[in-house]
Amino acid sequence: EAGVAQSPRYKIIEKRQSVAFWCNPISGHATLYWYQQILGQGPKLLIQFQNNGVVDDSQLPKDRFSAERLKGVDSTLKIQPAKLEDSAVYLCASSQNLGSFERTSHNTGELFFGEGSRLTVL
Amino acid sequence: KQEVTQIPAALSVPEGENLVLNCSFTDSAIYNLQWFRQDPGKGLTSLLLIQSSQREQTSGRLNASLDKSSGRSTLYIAASQPGDSATYLCAPRSGTYKYIFGTGTRLKVLA
């Protein structure tokens, strides 16, 4: 089974430039997450999609960050314009739905991560 | 709002020791809790997932326990090896499939 795919792995830009990251989740996973991980910290949730709808974007800095998942499969996270403090690893993750009454032996709601995209803003 | 704390923040031990990593969370209304490992410059690798109805989950030398009512989980690593050196993160899942992470425990196992 293919894992979560992310690109690019590394990106260096100057402040005020724009950047986009792409994520393709595991096939069949309805829920997709974007996390930001600053060096030495745990991942912070930026946005969560259920199919192509947004479930939670309360911590997404909407003045500069945007994300979409138009067909309910792959997703793009964009930053425009970038600031120095946006230097971080952007992690994409996916999981299957796990309704309260729909647990089966093969559907545990487990979260799977991609390798991440490391952004350096100069 | 769920808050997750991991203690200790860092740990350095000689090879062969048995280790206990702690995770506490403020909102006990969780569906499950997952433990991850992160190597430098890499993404997160899932180690163990404990459902809210379970008390324990084991995989090889790893054992994770969950006390939902007190908001605690423990990851036990038996007979540690240098290859276990990494950052270990816990993440409880609350409603709407939301996973919140702690800051992790950085483990170094010395040969």
* Residue A68 to residue A32: CA distance in whole angstroms: 11
- Residues B38-48 have a mean pLDDT of 93
In this model, does residue B110 exceed pLDDT 60?
yes
- Residues A40-63 have a mean pLDDT of 93
Q: Does residue A5 sit at the B interface (CB-CB below 8 Å)?
A: no
Q: How much is the pLDDT for A98?
A: 54
Structure tokens at B86: 């990494």
Taking contacts as CB-CB distances below 8 angstroms, the residues of chain A near B25 are none
What percent of chain A shows pLDDT beyond 70?
89
Q: What is the pLDDT of residues B83-103, one digit of tens each?
A: 999 999 999 998 777 899 999
Q: How much is the pLDDT for A45?
A: 95
With CA atoms as reference, report the closest residue to A35 among A70, A75, A73: A75
* Residue A46 to residue B23: CA distance in whole angstroms: 22
Give the helix/strand (H/E) hosting B90.
Answer: strand B86-94
Q: How much is the pLDDT for A1?
A: 62
To 5 degrees, how large is the angle CA A77–CA B27–CA B97?
35
Q: Using the beta-carbon criterion (under 8 Å), do B97 and A108 form an inter-chain contact?
A: no
Number of A/B CB contacts below 8 angstroms equals: 67
Burial class (CB in 10 A: 0-12, 13-18, 19+), A55: middle
Q: How much is the pLDDT for A33?
A: 96
Q: What is the pLDDT of residues B44-86, one digit of tens each?
A: 999 999 998 899 999 999 999 999 999 999 999 999 999 999 9
In this model, does residue A102 exceed pLDDT 90?
no
With CA atoms as reference, report the closest residue to A7 among A77, A112, A86: A77
Q: What is the pLDDT of residues A10-39, one digit of tens each?
A: 999 999 999 999 999 999 899 999 999 999
pLDDT band at A70 (very low <50, low <70, confident <90, very high): confident
> Could you tell me the maximum CA-CA distance found in chain A, to the nearest angstrom?
49
Q: How far is CA B22 from CA A70, A120, B1, B61, in A?
A: 39, 32, 20, 16
Q: What values do phi and psi take at B69, rounded to 5?
A: -65, -30
Identity (one letter) of the amino acid at B108? K
Of B43, B102, B104, the CB nearest to A91: B43
* Residue A114 to residue A97: CA distance in whole angstroms: 18
- Residues A71-83 have a mean pLDDT of 95
pLDDT band at A104 (very low <50, low <70, confident <90, very high): very low
Task: State the first-to-last Cα distance of chain B, in angstroms, to the nearest integer.
Answer: 41
